[in-house]
Amino acid sequence: MNSRIFGAALAAALLSGCSQQVEQAPPLRSVRVMQIDAAAVSASLTFPGDVRARHESRLGFRIGGKIVERRVDVGAMVKRGQVLARLDAQDVALQAAQAEANRALAEAEAKRYRELRAKNFVSQAVLDARETALQTATAQAGVARNQAAYATLLADRDGVVTAIEAEAGQVVSAGQTVVRVAGDSEKEIVIAVPESEVEQVRNADGFNVTLNSLPGRSWQGKLRELSPGADAATRTFTARIAVAGDDAAMRLGMSAGVQAKVSRGDTAFHLPLSAFFTRDDQPHVWVLDPATQTVRMIKVETDGVVGNDMRVKGGLQPGMWVVTAGANLLEPGQKVRLPEAVK
């Protein structure tokens, strides 16, 4: 009986030891890797952007008042001089009528004093005062007529309505934007450029424009304008890329991509964002040793995001193998399972 108990205890101890040995074995994780070579060196920079009109007007009334009519909607094609909206014109119409009445009275007074002067009944000074009053009244009547005309908002160019910022029934002030009209003759792509790439964009050999909604098509672009100052919120510089030719397929607001052709002097590597992880608030990547199939952690110096990639300007060398998937699950010196192409 005792021998049976001793044998069972011994077997249990052996099984427990085997279980502990299995649990202590480090896991062999599968990873995805890429090798850094000359092809990874950036020869172009890609920026997201959107299609805008080169000329866009923010139109508003030159006088304040209540909007009583809006004649266009967003997306409407308009012609130069077309009526876009109207104000309640009763007050300005009354002011114009009053000014015209004053002008007519001043004209009658001036005519009568001319006749009296011809008969030498009044002095020349008195007649000059009446003539001056007539000129003042005429000018005031002209201003009042203009004010009455300002109650109608007209399109200043042929184009398309891109936004409506005030509705009928709303009281607006002089100069407040009511309708935005973009000219349909010239289009451009607006992009945001990080401060580290401003000079490269400024000196780029050319630009290639693509639209996300029209794969397979591209247009040649030219840098038309580069903002001299950075945006206060994003710390990026706005660039406007003029597109050669007028293509009806390129519509305002479409998402676009701009590829800037830069010199080979840019030696930054491009790695997928999934390759990076943070330690002590610093970016790191895992570098693989194909001989031992183990990974080690390397601190890198990054230089901005381009699309789905991060630019790396320090810490890596051509020929290294970098883990691009599963970086957050690894530990230093851990052995990994490699794809067959790497073994």
Statement to judge: residues 221 and 331 lie in one domain: no
In a domain, 309, yes or no: yes
pLDDT of residue 84: 95
110 vs 114: CA distance, rounded Å: 6
Would the pLDDT of 139 be above 80? yes
**Where residue 19 falls among pLDDT bands split at 50, 70, 90?**
very low
Domain total in the chain: 3
Please provide the DSSP assignment of 168-179 as one string: TT-EE-TT---E
pLDDT of residue 12: 56
**Where residue 296 falls among pLDDT bands split at 50, 70, 90?**
confident
Average pLDDT over residues 140-151: 92
Please report which helix (H) or strand (E) contains residue 265, including its range.
none
Q: What CATH number has the domain bearing residue 63?
A: 2.40.50.100
Q: What share of the chain is helix, strand, coil (3-state, %, to 5)?
A: 30, 35, 35
Would the pLDDT of 6 be above 50? no
Residues 214-256 pLDDT 10s: 887 888 889 999 999 988 888 999 999 998 766 677 888 889 9
Contact 235, 343 (CB under 8 A): no
Contact 316, 285 (CB under 8 A): yes
In a domain, 226, yes or no: yes
In a domain, 225, yes or no: yes
Q: What CATH number has the domain bearing residue 279?
A: 2.40.420.20
Domain interval for residue 67:
57-86+153-183
Q: Whole-model pTM above 0.85? A: no
pLDDT of residue 42: 47
pLDDT of residue 329: 75
Eight-state DSSP code of residue 216: T
